[in-house]
Amino acid sequence: MSFASKLKISEISTLAPIIFFAAVGVIFLVLLPFSSFPPHIGLTGILSLIAAYGLLKKRFWAMWLVGALFVVAMTISIYTLLFMGFSNLGVALGMVAYAVLTLTVTLYLVLKNRPAEA
């Protein structure tokens, strides 16, 4: 029995946003001690894991949480890029990748869950 059938997911494209939010949550929580424990990184990591769970279980509040995380991700990315600049190339490229992937996943989820027009 495949992993996707155990999760009751028919397409792998449905699993991609779940994997993204779970991976972001774990990465943020792992990086928390290395960045002197800023609370916004920990909160974003926890909310990303909650969003992954909500998307996996198809909860009604998951899309609202994804929207809120989109705003938070864009704010963190833009703030970091503006005030840090490209002085640390690894962090800058990571923030750009995080912003682009968050935008892509959020647009995918919004367009996928849009109600059908009459």
Q: 10 Å Cβ neighbour count for 22?
A: 17
Instruction: Write down the pTM of the prediction.
Output: 0.86
Report domain extents, the chain: 13-111
**Residues 83-114: pLDDT tens digits?**
888 888 888 999 999 999 999 999 999 998 87
**Whether the Cβ atoms of residue 17 and residue 105 lie closer than 8 Å to each other:** yes
Residue type at 6 in one-letter notation: K
**Tokens 């998951």 map to which residue?**
62
**Residues 70-90: pLDDT tens digits?**
999 999 999 989 988 888 888
